[in-house]
């Protein structure tokens, strides 16, 4: 954090301000909040930015076809620079059996367990796909399903790129090596009105994690790759897995010029929560990024806008 006292002073100011709003019915978030301030105001200075499409790749270390999905996502991102974001989520979901578990076979043994309860809650909330790999493209319900096979991602993304977004996203992340803290300031600026309930989602991703991955070669034979690089891996969230409601009261209505400025802070301590006996990957600030996206409605779950920024 570049200026700890600055964020602490803002935190105190916001706490004092919010103390006068106790009569408003509270929005119930069953996950402990990690925000340190949350303010909103109106501005007349805004210009709509193009939509950035979000690919959520539901994956597993023991899924031999999952590397192909990662390659498809990578190719889509390269073909649309600055317009597509991707996160790889590993759900701790028993319905996927060995596909998501660490590998220990034929002398190949995983170092890490990539699965998280957060990823499981996301999958359970959006829609549990029948198999892996699978993915959500802007969490859009296509033909009755939120999940899409990897073969459809290129077309799905192309369709979403032409859809206008009502909100801009700016992200300023800061890592303080002295206190081992990660701070994030997310600014959302609405350029068009939205009458629905909107939610902010803030994810911490990490790339360049080397560990065993089940894979297939050019002829379809399964093999285990101990040098596989896991990228855009979901590590944690600074909001609830299902997002935090933005328009919690009438004075936070979603009209053109509405700005939300929300700060978050997390100490990057030991990671816990593995159910397999394998450790989860440790934090590596050099390879962290922040993904912020806004969804519309707990029913539609549709992603209105997304953005990703590297921490360092």
The rounded Cα 274 to chain-centroid distance in angstroms is 19
> Could you tell me which residues come within 8 angstroms of residue 247 by beta carbon, excluding any fewer than 6 positions away?
197, 198, 253, 254
- Which alpha helices (DSSP H) does 58-99 contain, by range? 66-79
Tokens read off for 71: 């390659």
**Which among 312, 292, 243, 297 is positioned nearest to 54, based on CA atoms?**
292
Q: How many angstroms separate the CA atoms of 259 and 185, rounded? A: 13
How many CB atoms within 10 Å of residue 80? 14
- Which alpha helices (DSSP H) does the chain contain, by range? 4-18, 66-79, 117-126, 153-161
Band the pLDDT of 144: cuts 50, 70, 90: very high
How many CB atoms within 10 Å of residue 209? 18
According to the model, what pLDDT value does residue 273 have?
Answer: 85
Max avg pLDDT among 19-28, 50-59, 94-103: 50-59
State pTM to two decimals: 0.89
Q: Domain 4-17+34-310 is in which class? A: mainly beta
Instruction: List the chain domain ranges.
Output: 4-17+34-310
CA angle 108, 110, 116 (to 5 degrees): 150
Handedness of CA 236, 237, 243, 244 (dihedral sign): positive
Band the pLDDT of 275: cuts 50, 70, 90: confident
According to the model, what pLDDT value does residue 297 have?
Answer: 86
Handedness of CA 165, 168, 199, 181 (dihedral sign): positive
């Amino acid at each position: 954090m570049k200026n700890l006292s600055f964020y602490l002073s803002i935190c105190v100011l916001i706490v004092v301000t919010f103390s006068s709003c106790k009569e408003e019915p509270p929005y119930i978030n069953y996950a402990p909040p990690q925000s340190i301030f949350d303010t909103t105001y109106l501005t007349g200075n805004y210009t709509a930015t193009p939509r950035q499409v979000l690919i959520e790749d539901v994956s597993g270390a023991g899924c031999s076809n999952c590397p192909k999905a990662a390659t498809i996502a990578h190719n889509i991102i390269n073909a649309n620079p600055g317009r597509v974001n991707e996160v790889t989520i590993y759900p701790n979901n028993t319905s996927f059996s060995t596909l998501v578990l660490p590998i220990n076979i034929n002398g190949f043994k995983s170092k890490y367990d990539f699965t998280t309860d957060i990823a499981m809650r996301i999958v359970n909330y959006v829609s549990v796909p029948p198999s892996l790999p699978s993915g959500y493209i802007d969490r859009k319900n296509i033909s009755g399903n939120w999940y899409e096979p990897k073969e459809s991602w290129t077309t799905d993304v192309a369709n979403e790129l032409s859809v206008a977004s009502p909100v801009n996203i700016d992200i300023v992340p800061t890592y303080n090596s002295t206190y081992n803290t990660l701070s994030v300031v997310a600014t959302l600026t609405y350029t068009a009105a939205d009458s629905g309930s909107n939610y902010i989602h803030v994810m911490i991703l990490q790339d360049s994690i080397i560990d065993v991955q089940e894979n297939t070669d050019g002829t379809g034979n399964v093999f285990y790759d101990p040098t596989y690089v896991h990228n855009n891996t979901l590590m944690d969230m600074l909001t609830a897995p299902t997002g935090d409601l933005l328009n919690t009261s009438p004075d936070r209505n979603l009209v053109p010029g509405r700005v939300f400025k929300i700060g978050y802070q997390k100490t990057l301590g030991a990671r816990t929560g593995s159910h397999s006996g394998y450790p989860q990957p440790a934090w590596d600030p050099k390879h962290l990024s922040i993904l912020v996206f806004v969804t519309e409605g707990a029913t539609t779950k549709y992603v209105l806008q997304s953005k990703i920024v590297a921490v360092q």
